[in-house]
Structure 1
Amino acid sequence: MKKLMYITICMFTALIGCDENDIDIPVSVLPSNLIVNAQNMGGGTVNFTATADNANYYHFDFGDGTSALGTSGEASKTYEMIGDNSYTITVTAGSTEGNKISESVDVSVSIAFSDPETVSLLTNDSSKTWFLAASQQGHLGLGPAREGIDGDWWYPKWYVASAFEKCGSEDSDCLCDDEITIAQDANGNLTFELDNKGQTYFNVGHRAVVGGSEESDFCYDFDTSGTKSVVLSPVEGNVPDEETTGIQMTIADGGFMGYYVGSSVYEILAIEDDFLYVRTYDTENADLAWYHKFTAEAAIEGGDENLETIYTNLVWSDEFDVDGAPDPLNWTYDLGAGGWGNGEAQTYTNDSENVKVEDGVLKITAIAGEGEAAVHYFDEMTLIDAGGTEQILEDFESAAPTFTGFGGSETTVVANPDASGENTSANVAQSTKALGAETWAGSFFDLSSPIDLMTYTTISLKTWSPSVGANIILKLENQANSDENVEVSVNTATANAWETLSFDFSAAAAGTYDRVVLFFDFGVSPAGGITSGRIKSENLFEFTYGRVEIRAKLPSGGGTWPALWALGANFDEVGWPASGEIDIMEHVGNNNNVVSSALHYPGNSAGNAVVGTTPVATATSEFHNYTVEWTPDSIKFVVDDEVVHNSFVNNGTTPFNSDFFLIMNVAMGGTLGGSIDPAFTQDTMEVDYVRVYQ
């Protein structure tokens, strides 16, 4: 266009002697002297100023995939990546003629992590004191590390492999009077202070810190005075989002939250206005994770508080004075195995060996019979595409894969024990689920390359199972990130013979699936032939409010879990825990002579139940009275009319305002009962009477 303009001008001026050399030709000017300045304003914001000669516009590339364009030479950018990060910013100055020059500068940006909601809950917007949840089961718990067993299996936050009740033992009770104060100053900075009354409960692996000589965990004199700063940051790892807040606290100067395991970093698994659940990792053993529960209220003290009952009219009772089966007008039976989700080992029966009235007492007896591990076989894992083309993934006829078992299961390659029917191959894989194994026990093996589920939408597997209806789960995972997984469940249709099961993965999302996980008889733990009894007053006697008094002597065998409790009568309509559950007394044979009570309801169930514990030195050798007084305003648990070890404020929003019925049982193992003594034969809970007053 400029050349055409020049020719026109020359033609117009020809009569006056136009000479090309006499004309000033417009030229394109190159911007120059580009100077870029960056000013870090804090909080992730950086202000940029660019100047250049002959520039009509400025383009800012902020180094994080974003940019800005303008004519003023000024730009402001707020970065969002948490932590200390560096960015290279490139500024281009350009002219309308299309010429441009560029300059780059490096900036460092530090952004402290903040979560206002968590800070508010931790500090009550100023300062809050937290107490060890001594009234809750598992206030100190031991469980798996983030990556889980062998870097793969991770347990949800409500599961703790071992839960320790430390407030009833002299060598650990110093843990139970700790007070932790977390505060926020005017600038938003967090501080932490632990008042442990001069004594710290030390893990035995860290006793050298205080020159200790005890061979187990112990309370030592250890000064924890002083205020320390706290920093919140995101947690990295493969824990499912629903099982953690994703936020961790780092306490400066070696600060810790009561139990000394050398760690100052605590992941916040759950936090509410009055509840804090954290996990930390032992610095001497990276495979161990320690769990703490805290409340915003000091533990309720027991002692010599006498119950001043408001209920004195006896409305229902069973004195167990007639030998034989329990009175059918008062009691019926729960029958079946597994404990309804608690992973228990017993099968409940109505057999007189398990439940009977004799010599003026009710006897509920857990009896170990002959049992055996559950054994399943599988072979010829085959990939099948939409057109029916097959590709063998694994047939166990050459080098066997390396199996990793978990939860009490193991897998090996063996000779085919039944080379007939659908499978006559020489070698197969044998999955053995040991007696007392977890209900989720299984095993996995890794692949050298991922399975292409976009091509192969079905996986077939030949299986041999001892029963019909066994639940088999085939799960595919990413070795590097077990959050990336997909699983399909199929039930067996044949017993004691080979069958081919098909697992449909057509709905699976794209992913890197290079690990194969197999669960056989998922949801079931081999019971070892243990039988027991569970009786209830459902549909026979149901009531709202009152004082329930049960006099009982408890079993002591390792793995026994006797319970005296009540369940909301509408549980079959609203489900549990919406129905509510009142555990008047529970006892664990692996922690003899410490009894507990619990309330389960929405928001406070399973491992988060409201729990109280009381030492009862002769609980397994003598009869004691276990009582609950349940009113519209409160629920109090009492032992021997003296020791109130837990008190709950009831109101119209809880499920504890409608009919409940009574249950008595002896469970074995499971989530609270724990490991069953291999030498266990039988043990009995004896009940002298049950009385209800209103």
Structure 2
Amino acid sequence: MKKLKYIMVSLFAVMMSCDGDDIDIPESVTPSNLTVSAQNMGEGVFDFTASAANANYYHYDFGDGTTALETSGVTSKTYEEIGENIYTVTITAGSTEGKKISETIDVSVSLAFTDTETVTFLTNDSSKTWFLAASQQGHLGLGPAREGIDGDWWYPKWFSASAFEKCGTEDSDCLCDDELTFSVNENGGLVYTLDNKGQTYFNVGHKAVVGGGEDIDFCYDFDTSGEKIVQLSEVEGNVPDAETTGIQMTFSDGGFMGYYVGSSVYEILSISDDFLYVRTYDTENADLAWYHKFTSDVAVDGGEESLETIYTNLVWSDEFDVDGAPNAANWGYDLGAGGWGNGEAQTYTDAAENVKVEDGVLKITAIAGEGEAAVHYFDEITLSDGSGGTQTLEDFEGAAPVFTGFGGVGTAVIANPDPTGENTSANVAESTKTLGAETWAGSFFDLSAPVDLVAYPSISLKTWSPATGANIILKLENQANADENVEVSVNSTVANAWETLNFDFTGVPVGTYDRVVLFFDFGVSPSGGITSGRIKSENLYEFTYGRVEIRAKLPSAGGTWPALWALGANFDEVGWPTAGEIDIMEHVGNNNNTISSALHYPGNSAGNAIVGSTPVENATSEFHNYTVEWTPDSIKFVVDDQLVHNSFVNNATTPFNADFFLIMNVAMGGTLGGTIDAEFIEDTMEVDYVRVYQ
């Protein structure tokens, strides 16, 4: 221990006796002369170069929350925020001893939104022309604005091509002559060109554009052709991913897509090589959304090209050459009423009068029965404040209000037909929904003063219904603006007796509600006892791919809706439209000798289905061949060997790559069949044969 102590003391003495000039101690040096440069490389990319004396590293803070550490001082940064932005970049030069200096530099980034895939679909190397898809169901639709009550989003599923047609009449068909093209200019910008042939279709309310005094709602000699610049951007607001691409187009200088509603901004709902589906908002009524469906495939509207089939081997058929019931080895029946969601009027049976084979053809016949109109009674419409305070709105004991019916409903004040139970008053209102009335039929009466829903948020109504479960809707509107409205739906709970139903309007928007609208048994049309037939090959013959050919003659009566179609065989497991639906032929008696075909699948169903139509001369008096050619790559619809519409590109993402089964039926009324002829007795679809080739 003594030796160790001696060594330590001696070393300390040596250190204390040393002069600083005798040893080399490193000096801590601060970097100096820091210079920074930034070069804009375009599309949000900047190249930075920094240099400083005595610097061992360079730290970059790019001003957008990201950083980088470099030893050379050279780095590159890509900014991604869309728009005009200025970023303060801080560059720090440091030494290994911890000394450092900093400089800042501002960079201005102008970054326009772009989407290469969308531009490709729109332009196709500038060779693509878009037309309004006149044969498509829902090619021009109207619905509530995208952010409705409780954030609901509504597509225009209620507007079919026949119900909201702008291409079939002389005063509006200029809309379907418009040609729309997109291209990319020399600066890389997207350019839109409209050729409207010198005529513009104006929605009513936009008369100021043409400087006239009339309220225009037809084609007008006003040339709005020309080029506009298109800016792509992300859609703002509450936009569910499943219902939009998330991209919108804004046209310069008031540009628009053929139909003038005052808007230059169009949200892209879906886009493909063949179809473009957009939504825009009416500048005169912010509550309304307009939907346009365009096609770049002129074959959708007809053509003379013959089908060159790849399927020639007959693998299954029914020639209907044995009289009696359809061959039970090939066909089963769907039985029941209502059409499973389409609001149809018929009840399907397996009776021979509705479905039979006779004289070498299958006959599916819709027959009118002896049904009755639907009658409901109502009384004592009463306002309630929720604390026991009430105010009678109408009890029908004084002067009767003036009722206005619509869709096939008549309403009048009568003596109470059942003065028992909850309602023994003398007079009540009677609502009669006639045979074949629209499913949305109802009536209304006006009030002398608006309803105060703040003071009285609840409304009660005594009703008498012939059945339980009838959907009763109480709707309040502004007489001067029907778009200002609120409604509540309640179901009846007793049959053939009076009950009191309560309609809760708590929390609805404040408005001027001075009209009462009532719908009884909403969604149902009195069928008049109509029966019909629907047969199917489910679990008997199911197949994937092939050419299906059906030779048929179609019914012509108003309200008939015959269909030849196929449904995914996994329908009972996954439901519709996930299973997929192939409509080989549909026809409506209210638009004779025009047939349509459609594809329904997720994202493209109901009013958003892929639909095409074509005229077929004598479709109701002569037999014609209706064909679908279904391959792994495409689905083509054919009439009499001519490829006429809907050349659909099939791929692995669609449901059209698994087994389907065939269905044939005649529906009545409903969402497509429309109003049933008041004189309807019966009508028949005749099918000569069904053949499947692979």
Aligned to 1:132: 131
Aligned to 2:369: 369
Q: Give secondary structure in 1 for the equivalent of 2:450.
A: strand
Contact in 2 for aligned 1:123/1:184 (Cα 8 Å): no
What is the CA–CA distance in structure 1 between the aligned matches of 2:399 and 2:252, rounded to whole Å?
50
What is the CA–CA distance in structure 2 between the aligned matches of 1:671 and 1:293, rounded to whole Å?
20
Q: Give secondary structure in 1 for the equivalent of 2:647.
A: strand
Aligned to 2:81: none
What is the CA–CA distance in structure 2 between the aligned matches of 1:384 and 1:166, rounded to whole Å?
45
Change (3 A) 1:337 1:498: same
What is the CA–CA distance in structure 1 between the aligned matches of 2:158 and 2:242, rounded to whole Å?
14
Contact in 2 for aligned 1:200/1:222 (Cα 8 Å): yes
Change (3 A) 1:593 1:300: same
1:653 deviates by: 1.0
1:628 deviates by: 1.3
Aligned to 2:47: none
Tell me the alpha carbon deviations over residues 136-159 of structure 1, each in whole angstroms, 9 at most, x when there is no partner: 42465586999xxxxxxx995222
Aligned to 2:596: 596
What pairs with 1:433-582 in structure 2 (closer than 5 Å)?
433-444=433-444, 448-452=450-454, 459-475=459-475, 485=486, 487-495=488-496, 497-503=497-503, 505=504, 508-509=506-507, 511-512=509-510, 515=513, 516-582=516-582
What is the CA–CA distance in structure 1 between the aligned matches of 2:353 and 2:683, rounded to whole Å?
11
What is the CA–CA distance in structure 2 between the aligned matches of 1:172 and 1:521, rounded to whole Å?
35
1:563 deviates by: 0.7
Q: Which amino acid aligns with 2:438?
A: E
What is the CA–CA distance in structure 2 between the aligned matches of 1:117 and 1:474, rounded to whole Å?
47
Q: Give secondary structure in 2 for the equivalent of 1:449.
A: coil
1:125 deviates by: 9.0
What is the CA–CA distance in structure 1 between the aligned matches of 2:142 and 2:590, rounded to whole Å?
17
Q: Give secondary structure in 2 for the equivalent of 1:308.
A: coil
Aligned to 1:272: 270
Q: Which amino acid aligns with 1:449?
A: V
What pairs with 1:299-314 in structure 2 (closer than 5 Å)?
299-300=299-300, 302-314=302-314
What pairs with 1:20-419 in structure 2 (closer than 5 Å)?
131-134=130-133, 136-138=135-137, 141=140, 157-160=156-159, 162-163=162-163, 178-182=178-182, 192-195=192-195, 198=197, 225-228=225-228, 257-258=257-258, 265=263, 268=266, 271-274=269-272, 275-277=276-278, 292-295=292-295, 299-300=299-300, 302-383=302-383, 392-400=392-400, 403=403, 405-419=405-419
Q: Does residue 648 of structure 2 align to residue 632 of structure 1?
A: no
Aligned to 1:44: none
1:686 deviates by: 0.5
What is the CA–CA distance in structure 1 between the aligned matches of 2:608 and 2:664, rounded to whole Å?
22
Tell me the alpha carbon deviations over residues 434-482 of structure 1, each in whole angstroms, 9 at most, x when there is no partner: 33333233345556332347x76x6543211122332223456788796
Contact in 2 for aligned 1:266/1:278 (Cα 8 Å): no
What is the CA–CA distance in structure 2 between the aligned matches of 1:611 and 1:125, rounded to whole Å?
20
1:672 deviates by: 2.0
Q: Which moved more, 1:355-364 or 1:115-124?
A: 115-124
Change (3 A) 1:401 1:191: farther
Change (3 A) 1:419 1:576: same
What is the CA–CA distance in structure 2 between the aligned matches of 1:332 and 1:528, rounded to whole Å?
26
What is the CA–CA distance in structure 2 between the aligned matches of 1:488 and 1:117, rounded to whole Å?
45
Equivalent residue pairs, number:
552
Contact in 1 for aligned 2:129/2:181 (Cα 8 Å): yes
1:365 deviates by: 1.4
Change (3 A) 1:450 1:164: closer
What pairs with 1:641-660 in structure 2 (closer than 5 Å)?
641-660=641-660
Q: Give secondary structure in 2 for the equivalent of 1:461.
A: strand
Contact in 1 for aligned 2:140/2:290 (Cα 8 Å): yes
What is the CA–CA distance in structure 2 between the aligned matches of 1:648 and 1:375, rounded to whole Å?
47
Aligned to 2:688: 688
Q: Give secondary structure in 1 for the equivalent of 2:590.
A: helix
Change (3 A) 1:123 1:178: farther
1:361 deviates by: 0.3
Change (3 A) 1:467 1:684: same
Q: Give secondary structure in 1 for the equivalent of 2:563.
A: strand
What is the CA–CA distance in structure 2 between the aligned matches of 1:177 and 1:413, rounded to whole Å?
51
Q: Which moved more, 1:659-668 or 1:515-524?
A: 515-524
Q: Which amino acid aligns with 1:132?
A: F
1:685 deviates by: 0.9
1:588 deviates by: 2.2
Contact in 2 for aligned 1:123/1:183 (Cα 8 Å): no
Q: Give secondary structure in 1 for the equivalent of 2:353.
A: coil
Q: Give secondary structure in 2 for the equivalent of 1:563.
A: strand
Tell me the alpha carbon deviations over residues 178-205 of structure 1, each in whole angstroms, 9 at most, x when there is no partner: 4213568799998642235x57697999
What is the CA–CA distance in structure 1 between the aligned matches of 2:283 and 2:618, rounded to whole Å?
36
What is the CA–CA distance in structure 1 between the aligned matches of 2:154 and 2:435, rounded to whole Å?
21
What is the CA–CA distance in structure 1 between the aligned matches of 2:252 and 2:590, rounded to whole Å?
35
Q: Which moved more, 1:268-277 or 1:414-423?
A: 268-277
- RMSD value, Cα: 4.9
Contact in 2 for aligned 1:140/1:166 (Cα 8 Å): no
1:510 deviates by: 6.0
Specify every segment of 5 or more residues in structure 1 that has no aligned partner in the other structure, as ranges. Answer: 1-113, 147-153, 210-215
Contact in 1 for aligned 2:141/2:156 (Cα 8 Å): no
Tell me the alpha carbon deviations over residues 354-381 of structure 1, each in whole angstroms, 9 at most, x when there is no partner: 2111101001112233444322111123
Structure-2-length-normalised TM-score: 0.66
Q: Which amino acid aligns with 2:507?
A: A
Contact in 2 for aligned 1:440/1:523 (Cα 8 Å): yes
Q: Which amino acid aligns with 1:366?
A: A
What is the CA–CA distance in structure 2 between the aligned matches of 1:647 and 1:314, rounded to whole Å?
23
What is the CA–CA distance in structure 1 between the aligned matches of 2:437 and 2:585, rounded to whole Å?
26
Contact in 2 for aligned 1:141/1:163 (Cα 8 Å): no
Change (3 A) 1:401 1:305: same
Change (3 A) 1:633 1:422: same
Tell me the alpha carbon deviations over residues 652-674 of structure 1, each in whole angstroms, 9 at most, x when there is no partner: 11111222111101122222223
Change (3 A) 1:172 1:379: closer
Contact in 2 for aligned 1:119/1:125 (Cα 8 Å): no
What is the CA–CA distance in structure 2 between the aligned matches of 1:520 and 1:246, rounded to whole Å?
41
Change (3 A) 1:120 1:662: closer
1:312 deviates by: 3.0
Q: Give secondary structure in 2 for the equivalent of 1:316.
A: strand
What pairs with 1:3-18 in structure 2 (closer than 5 Å)?
none
Change (3 A) 1:163 1:279: farther
Specify every segment of 5 or more residues in structure 2 that has no aligned partner in the other structure, as ranges. Answer: 1-110, 146-152, 211-216
